[in-house]
């Protein structure tokens, strides 16, 4: 699927280039590849997830809920196109084998929802600029990086997880983390957010790619 899309994108790009070479003035009449956010753009959105998990070196942390808000906007481009900004994001009801924990998302620079590939109402992409910290007893560590994200228009679900490309990495760890978390570790984060627009509304937002 991804290969087909890539080929298609490349073919479209080649065609555009050919047209551009032939007649630069004709460009205005040809739609550039666009990611269109609906039903309105730009728009605010909010999202909630019921159960989220973070697993670090086999040590599990789960939260009973997570909430996020941000903005979405249509944008031109074909891959690695930002269609949303996430800030703030919170977790609640989080526990670990050590006891309750309170992870904190650092969204002072908003996290970016990036679109990459599209098929039949499903957008694959990632969230960039993820940054969060967690303290349990004398251990405080920070994770930064990316999570893979899949958004499905029909359900309004944004599923996030980690894979070999989209990774979170422990970037700082206090002395008390020795044996628990070390710089360079790759925790995995899994959650499924239900999105609505505008923030607090009832409408499932849509993301559609037009080549």
Partner 1 sequence: MTGARRQTARGAALATVALLGGMIPGAQAASGVQEIDTELAYTCDFPRGEQPVKVGITAKIPESALPGQAVQPEDVVMDVTLPEGAFAASADPAATVSAEMTLSVDVAQKGQEARAEWIGRTADPAPVPSEGELVLRTSGAVPYVAPGAPGDLSLKAAGLTAVLTTRTAEGAPTEPATTDLVCVLDAGQDPALAAVDVAGGTTSPPPSPSPSAEWPGEDEEGGREGEEPAPDAPEVGTRVQESGAADAPPCAGDPDDQLNMVAYVTGYANVAKLDGASRFPLACAQISQGPSWLDFTDPGFMHLYQDSTVDLRYQGKPQLPPSQGTFLTFGFMPTTATLEMTQIPEGTRPDGTRIPNIKSDLAISLADFSSRSVTTITMELMLRLRDVEVNGVPLDVGDDCRTSRPFTLTVKGLGTRSSAGILEGYTLATGGQLTGSVSLPPFSGCGVDEDLDNLFTASLSGAPGLVKQVQGAPCAAAQGSGSAAFCTSGYEPVDVPVPTR
Interacting residues with partner 1 (CB under 8 A): 50-51, 55, 57-60, 62-64, 93-102, 104, 133-138, 140, 174-176, 178-180, 192
Contacts for 6 with CB less than 8 Å, ≥ 6 apart? 117
CA distances from 104 to 2, 66, 81, 92, 132 (A): 35, 11, 27, 10, 5
**Nearest CB to partner 1, comparing residues 80 and 174:** 174
**Nearest CB to partner 1, comparing residues 36 and 48:** 48
- Work out how close the CB of 18 gets to partner 1 at its nearest, in angstroms, rounded to a whole number: 48
Phi, psi of 14 (to 5 degrees): -65, -40
Task: Count CB neighbours of 136 within 10 A.
Answer: 22
**Nearest CB to partner 1, comparing residues 201 and 211:** 201
Contacts for 109 with CB less than 8 Å, ≥ 6 apart? 129, 131
**Nearest CB to partner 1, comparing residues 81 and 191:** 191
- Work out how close the CB of 20 gets to partner 1 at its nearest, in angstroms, rounded to a whole number: 47
- Work out how close the CB of 180 gets to partner 1 at its nearest, in angstroms, rounded to a whole number: 5
Do the beta carbons of residue 137 and residue 176 sit within 8 Å? yes
- Work out how close the CB of 164 gets to partner 1 at its nearest, in angstroms, rounded to a whole number: 22
């Amino acid at each position: 699927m991804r290969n087909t899309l890539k080929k298609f994108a490349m073919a479209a790009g080649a065609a555009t280039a050919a047209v551009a070479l032939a007649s630069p003035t004709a460009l205005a009449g040809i739609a550039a590849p666009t990611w269109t956010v609906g039903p309105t753009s730009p728009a605010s959105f909010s999202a909630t997830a019921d159960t989220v998990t973070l697993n670090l070196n086999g040590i599990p942390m789960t939260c009973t809920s997570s909430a996020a808000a941000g903005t979405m906007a249509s944008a031109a481009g074909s891959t690695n196109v930002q269609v949303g900004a996430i800030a703030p994001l919170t977790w609640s009801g989080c526990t670990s084998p050590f006891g309750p924990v309170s992870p904190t998302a650092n969204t002072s620079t908003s996290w970016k929802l990036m679109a990459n590939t599209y098929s039949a109402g499903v957008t694959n992409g990632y969230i960039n600029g993820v940054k969060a910290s967690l303290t349990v007893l004398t251990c405080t560590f920070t994770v930064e990086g990316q999570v893979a994200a899949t958004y499905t228009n029909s359900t309004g679900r944004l599923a996030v997880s980690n894979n070999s490309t989209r990774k979170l990495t422990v970037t700082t760890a206090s002395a008390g983390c020795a044996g628990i978390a070390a710089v360079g570790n790759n925790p995995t984060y899994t959650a499924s957010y239900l999105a609505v627009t505008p923030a607090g509304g009832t409408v499932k937002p849509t993301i559609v790619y037009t080549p």
